[in-house]
Amino acid sequence: MSGGVFLGLMNRQFMIYRIERESNDVGGWPETEVLLGVISGRLRPMTGGEKVVANSEDRETTHILYVPYSNPKAGELDGSEIKRGDLVVYGDLKIEVLGVNDPSLAHEHLEIDCVQMEGLE
């Protein structure tokens, strides 16, 4: 599959959030989800045979998000800005980024391993 055709399949919009922690001056560090931006991509659930457990934590990858490495669409987030711990929201689905991979170091697209957040519909 050529890069152009594959990138053309990235036709859904995903909101990307980053967790920020700031001191509340009484010893706490409340978390706030801050919108980084929107990016076009394609999301697919992992099949039973594909599921793997993230190395640093015993959390199973549940979804793979494909996004352009460097997004050509005006006003959208660059895929290269997404990092571990970011949150991806699509409709009622909320997933956390476990890892970001650049397959074959081709700088065409990124494969982002994600886990579905518990307790959400």
- Give the predicted TM-score (pTM) of the model: 0.78
Q: What is the pLDDT of residues 67-93, one digit of tens each?
A: 988 866 778 888 889 999 999 999 999
Closest CA to 14 of 98, 99, 71, 84: 71
Beta bridge partners of 42: 66
Q: What is the pLDDT of residues 12-49, one digit of tens each?
A: 999 999 998 887 778 778 888 999 999 999 999 887 66
